Amino acid sequence: MKIELVTDATAGGKKAAEYFLAAKQDGVKTFGLATGGTPVTTYAALVAGEIDFGDAVSLNLDEYVGLGANDPQSYAAYMQAHLFSQKPFAASYLPNGLASDLAAECARYDQLVAENPIGLQLLGIGENGHIGFNEPGTSFDSSTHLVNLTESTIKANARFFARENQVPRQALSMGIGTIMQAKQIILEAYGEKKAAAIKAMVKGPVTEAVPASVLQRHENVIVIVDPAAAAGLD
Ligand code: PGA
């Protein structure tokens, strides 16, 4: 793993956007995208820059079950607001959280990923070490699947909702096996709440108890962290 220490999330977003531009210039056609608080500065930097995704494809990591694109809390709506409305892709895909047959939706999404191999995947990390919505204990071989969110994730994400009981209890997420197929991975983390997860990811044993630790087995991972998130590293 290559560690990029930045002063703050704004600088980190600019750094991540530089990697996007380099990947694009290198011929990458498919970008794996993430939601949550962390990538906001990355999308702001991409929107402010010259990058053109008009010939590229995006595939998001995950979506809440039960929320459609018209719901402002859906990840589809988040992506529209932060990136797609200003930097449209030729095609953008997210799992469909309203699908009536969730197993079939997972299979459809895996097929999309197979048809559009991801050149660069953006990731955040949960305080419990999750990547995507792959909670501790998820198999490293997993493909897109239905997830029961843990209490810690529900609590962490409640800040985006008016009330905690509005946070969906389930999500569809690319699996860890899916994520590991990406040619290059950028993981961003900012703030002291992420320090323990970053330390476990970088220095701890590779274990399904810490999903992000699997990234030690990937040959092209860039970790962008601010000093607070890097506090447990040397
Ligand atoms: P956050 O979430 O960016 O909102 O902190 C990261 C994650 O849970 O992967």
Residue 63's beta-bridge partner residues? 172
Measured from the CA of 39, which atom of ligand 1 is nearest? 3
3-state secondary structure (DSSP) of residue 186: strand
Task: Enter the tokens of residue 24.
Answer: 């694009």
Q: Is the CB of 125 under 6 A from ligand 1?
A: yes
> Is 128 labeled as catalytic in the residue annotation?
yes
- Sign of the C-alpha dihedral computed for residues 195, 207, 39 and 23 taken in this order: positive
Closest CA to 150 of 134, 172, 131, 174: 134
36 lines ligand 1 (CB under 6 A): yes
The pLDDT score that the predictor gives to residue 30 is: 98
Rounded CA-CA distance 157/73 in Å is 11
Expressed in angstroms and rounded, the spacing between residue 186 Cα and the centre of ligand 1 is 14
Set 60, 105, 116, 135: catalytic member: 135
Does the C-beta of 126 come closer than 6 Å to ligand 1? Answer: yes
**Four-residue CA torsion sign, 51, 52, 56, 60:** positive
Select which of 60, 116, 128, 134 is catalytic: 128
Tally of CB atoms within 10 A around 151: 10
For residue 36, the CA-to-ligand 1 centroid distance in Å is 5
Rounded Cα distance between 116 and 134, Å, is 21
Tell me how crowded residue 30 is: count the other CB atoms within 10 A of its CB.
23
* Separation CA 107–CA 109 (nearest Å): 5
Query: What is the tens place of the pLDDT at every residue in 39-80?
Result: 999 999 999 999 999 999 999 999 999 999 999 999 999 999
Verify whether residue 145 is a known catalytic residue: no
Contact partners, residue 108, CB within 8 Å, separation at least 6: none
Domain boundaries, the chain: 2-225
What is the distance between the alpha carbons of residues 166 and 98, in angstroms, rounded to a whole number?
Answer: 16
Angstrom distance (rounded) from CA 135 to CA 185: 18
Question: What pLDDT, on a 0 to 100 scale, did the predictor assign at position 234?
Answer: 85
Q: Report the pLDDT value the prediction gives residue 31, as an integer from 0 to 100.
A: 98
124 contact partners, CB below 8 Å, separation of at least 6: 34, 36, 37, 38, 39, 131, 187, 188, 189
Catalytic, 208? Answer no
CA distance 175 to 11: 29
Please report, in tens digits, the pLDDT of each residue of the chain (234 residues total): 999 999 999 999 999 999 999 999 999 999 999 999 999 999 999 999 999 999 999 999 999 999 999 999 999 999 999 999 999 999 999 999 999 999 999 999 999 999 999 999 999 999 999 999 999 999 999 999 999 999 989 999 999 999 999 999 999 999 999 999 999 999 999 999 999 999 999 999 999 999 999 999 999 999 999 999 999 998
pLDDT recorded at residue 169: 97
Class of domain 2-225: alpha beta
